[in-house]
Structure 1
């Protein structure tokens, strides 16, 4: 019997992990494919010696990264929460990093207790792609009109039916979401998009970013965005931005569960 099994106790563990999504077929377990959930379940189950089911705050797509993915799982015995980051850092592969672990009550659920999520999308503005950034940014070699892009982004803030800005086959019947924030920041060589909302549909952030970039390239007027929303058809909006620029940035829970899991 391992040290972890001898010295710990049961309970529900909330774990925050960061990962480089480049080597994963998304978060959700898929038979025969390497996924974040699959690696976490296999690692924790192997450590505890019993099957463990991991629940995530949401499903990131293949190639999408996370700074603050939240999971929870129940254990009949195991390390105390304050030991999990140390224990798992020795067992997980280099592209998944345990960041924070706490013990929570049985009322907490990584997905259903979420009140807000935020994503960051990174565009590298350079005529020549950077070999050290290509896995984490979308290279756009053409100059972009940021003023028009910000106007387009503002049209998306608020409560809307986002049918036009999600995958046509998105499984959710209710496509109404509230976007609290869609900010665009510029650095010397990057454009950073920050999206915060009460929930996101499949490909929603990537389609919003792709559409706003298309506005910046002059393919659409920013004034076309309200019409895109009202039509409720995926064909009306712009392109889907590639996955590698997207990162799950933060997750927020009610005050009794600590609010945002990361301070920044």
Structure 2
């Protein structure tokens, strides 16, 4: 059976999503907990592999499980298997969190069976990230660990004007950390900033993002907002298609994966096939 899980996490104390020997990662914690509960090895496929320090409010992953193992999850209770799995996983991950009693930094919100052609990564239509910035002291809240503090005001209108030419399908090599054999062409569906109270919230949405793309987009546009670069600079960087010394990568801790969008279940397989094509 193929099972989808929806989850959220605070990335502060994780070394990113992907399993790394000797380091605490989201994938490592969840796979260990799943293997313990299901009594079989489990490997997760995720919608977006977040970097160290990056948070998620709406992450998605999937895994395979034996039918009998899934059916056995409720034991003698009247719960559905998915509800039983959620409760057991959260009880285990809470024990691994570095915090006060009752705290956990990774939470599984739902678990349920999906068609065999669902792929958390390739069936996704889009991913949406937010980036939070407080550009004056009244917005600096020591209780929050997902906001970038800046000591000078940003020109949000200038940032939005500079972002507009980046929308659409482009080669984002100037904004990505390229991987051998992988395309850096992406379709950027939304990119902009709004003030919400004392915090500026940047939003970036695309069919997919390459490594470091969102943080580089945010870092580049922050330079425009603080007046260090012209409004035409981001478009110039896009046209250059060069990962050089001009790259500005914003800190990870203010970035959150907010949501992953999927088509109707009947389109899971077709979308997964389309997403695997090489673009470039």
TM-score if structure 1 supplies the norm length?
0.88
Deviations 1:213-233 (A, max 9, x none): 100111111112221111111
* Unmatched segments (≥5 aa) in structure 2: 74-80, 95-103, 269-280
When the two chains are superposed, the root-mean-square deviation of aligned CA atoms in Å is: 1.8
Shift of 1:127: 3.5
Counterparts in 2 of 1:251 and 1:171: CA distance versus 1, 3 Å:
farther
Q: Choose the corresponding residue for 1:247, options 249, 252, 256.
A: 256
Q: Within 2, Cα distance between the matches of 1:256 and 1:12? A: 13
* Unmatched segments (≥5 aa) in structure 1: 1-10, 260-264
| Structure 1 residue 92 corresponds to structure 2 residue 107 | no
| Count of residues paired in the alignment | 247
Counterparts in 2 of 1:144 and 1:65: CA distance versus 1, 3 Å:
same
Shift of 1:172: 5.6
Deviations 1:86-126 (A, max 9, x none): 23222222100111222112111111111111101111222
| Structure 1 residue 25 corresponds to structure 2 residue 15 | yes
Q: Within 1, Cα distance between the matches of 2:15 and 2:259? A: 21
Aligned match of 1:186: 195
Q: Choose the corresponding residue for 1:124, options 109, 113, 134.
A: 134
Deviations 1:126-168 (A, max 9, x none): 23743212x211111101111110101112111111000112x
Greater CA drift, 83-92 or 139-148: 83-92
Aligned match of 1:81: 82
- Runs of 4+ with deviation above 4 angstroms: none
Matches within 5 A, 1:107-256: 107-127=117-137, 129-133=140-144, 135-167=145-177, 169-171=178-180, 173-235=182-244, 237-256=246-265
Counterparts in 2 of 1:120 and 1:258: CA distance versus 1, 3 Å:
farther
